[in-house]
Amino acid sequence: MALIVQKFGGSSVADAAKIRNVARIITDTYKRGDQVVAVLSAQGDTTDDLIEKAAEINPRASGREMDMLLSTGEQISCALCAMAIEAIGCPVVSLTGWQAGFRTDSGYGNARIKRVKTERLQEELDKNRIVIVTGFQGLNRYDDITTLGRGGSDTSAVALAAVLHADLCQIYTDVDGVYTADPRLVPDAVKLDEITYDEMLELATLGAQVLHNRSVEMAKRYNVNLEVLSSFSGHRGTKVKEVVKGMERSHISGVAKDKNIARLALTGLENTPGVAFKIFSLLAKNKVNVDIILQSIGRSESKDISFTVAKGDMDRARQLLEENREQLGFDHIDVSDSLAKVSIVGAGMINNPGVAAAMFEALYNAGINIQMISTSEIKVSVLVDADEAERAVKVIHARFYDELAEQH
């Protein structure tokens, strides 16, 4: 008997028919003799609808009351799913975040899970019940309801899998698994059978939008076996684990793009130590997250620094820099939000120095100009014109998967 945590996203529980489908997946697993804890998101657009309702009444409502409001979405989908399971005839109980023992910090709207008290969960599992748990939420030390931020249900599921020592954590979504590129964009994209936590983490951060990156970090830390699969197709999904076997893997596991990016460039900075420190500590203190940083090779008198931030932070970052122009000592700020980041990710890259070069070659052949480059051990990111991002993904994907085809 295995213990399996299954997570179903909003699109998987959007209406009565879909909830019945989820109930069937859960009870099929249960009837095979496994214990099941299922974590559900709110139905379809429920969360957005509630946010809209709140905005109509008070656009600057407190985080506490927003969480009080938003947490109802999962409570509704979980109660309905439990009813669907009752109709099938299996023993079941639905639990809210606080009933399931989720304790978080006080950060309303983006709370962090501090611990999960498993007494009630264990009690219900011992009664041989299927347990349905509201994702995305918990209780803080004031006994007030908190939410974990968008996509937090993935994190709820992984946390449960970790504390219950589950054998597997299945993330059901509306895609079949993790692809080498967005299949809507690249029809040749291939579904991966397996991927490492680190690769998945780079892909999640890069906007592949399959798994919430906090959940992947947590899965890596607690060594939770993840599987991403579709609640509709019934096909095998993609397993996410520490080490991936298989000699025939391509050097890269995926190509992703992220258009939520803006670049700021500071020119004419004094060529003295501490300049970068001043700039980025100013931004960090003001909660502006910086992604890629590039510093030009210092000439005798001055140097240039470019960096990227999320689009929503661009204006604030510029304002902060302008306000501190004297202290930072630069000539000019240049900003652009018509860029996109295109990345390739793959653990195999470390031992294959030609991978980055192959990516640049593919872009060169397609006449796509690279504006910035950033690399890590398992990732190469380039900044290109936003208009060229989709074509860039296609030519890079073709380059690597054609290469793979040739090898066979």
- Phi first, then psi, for residue 3 (nearest 5°) are -105, 120
**Binding status of residue 56 toward its own copies by CB under 8 A:** yes
In sequence order, what are the residues at sequence separation of 6 or more whose Cβ sits closer than 8 angstroms to the Cβ of residue 271?
A: 298, 299, 300, 301, 302, 303
Are the CB atoms for 197 and 188 separated by under 8 Å? no
**Closest approach of Cβ 287 to its own copies, in Å?**
23
CB 154 within 8 A of CB 219: no
Which parts of 206-261 are beta strand (E)?
226-230, 238-241, 254-258
Q: Does 45 bind its own copies (CB under 8 A)?
A: no
Q: 236-251: string of b/e by CB count within 10 Å (b at 16+)? A: ebbbbbeebeeeebbb
- CB < 8 Å & 24+ apart, contacts of 285-290: 286/316, 286/320, 288/313, 288/316, 288/317, 288/320, 289/313
Q: Which stretch binds its own copies (CB under 8 A): 141-149, 245-253, 301-309, 366-374?
A: 141-149
Nearest 5°: phi and psi at 19? -65, -40
Interaction of residue 48 with its own copies, rule CB under 8 A: no
Give the nearer residue to its own copies in terms of CB position, either 56 or 301: 56
Q: Which is nearer to its own copies, 67 or 227 (CB)?
A: 67
* Least separation in angstroms between CB 145 and its own copies: 8
User: How far apart are alpha carbons 401 and 246 in whole angstroms?
Assistant: 16
Beta carbon of residue 143, minimum distance to its own copies (angstroms, whole number): 6
CA distance 339 to 371: 9
In the list 65, 105, 217, 390, the residue contacting its own copies (rule: CB under 8 A) is 65
In this structure, are residues 353 and 287 in contact, taking their beta carbons and an 8 Å threshold? Answer: no
Pairing of strands 372-376, 379-385: antiparallel
| From 64, 191, 259, 318, residue interacting with its own copies (rule: CB under 8 A) | 64
Cβ distance to its own copies smaller for residue 115 or 325: 115
Q: Which position among 3, 11, 45, 54 is part of the footprint of its own copies (CB under 8 A)?
A: 54
Residue 264 to residue 367: CA distance in whole angstroms: 24
Please tell me the distance from the alpha carbon of residue 388 to that of residue 67, in angstroms, as a whole number. 39
Nearest approach in angstroms of CB 260 to its own copies is 28
Could you tell me the smallest distance in angstroms from the CB atom of residue 142 to its own copies? 9
**Closer by beta carbon to its own copies, 76 or else 356:** 76
CB of 45 to its own copies, least distance (A): 15
Distance of CA 221 to the CA centre of its chain: 16
Choose which of 28, 31, 32, 62 interacts with its own copies (CB under 8 A). Answer: 62
Count of residues of this chain found to bind its own copies when the rule CB under 8 A is applied: 37
Can residue 72 be called a binding residue for its own copies (CB under 8 A)? yes
> Which helix (DSSP H) or strand (DSSP E) does residue 213 occupy?
helix 213-222
- The pattern of x and - marking residues 75 through 94 that bind its own copies according to CB under 8 A reads xx-xxx-xxx-xx-----xx
Residue indicated by tokens 């240049």: 334
Binding its own copies by CB under 8 A: which of 105, 144, 188, 361?
144
* Binding of residue 13 to its own copies (CB under 8 A): no
- Residues near its own copies (CB under 8 A) are 16, 19-20, 50, 53-54, 56-58, 60-62, 64-66, 68-69, 71-72, 75-76, 78-80, 82-84, 86-87, 93-94, 96, 99, 120, 143-145
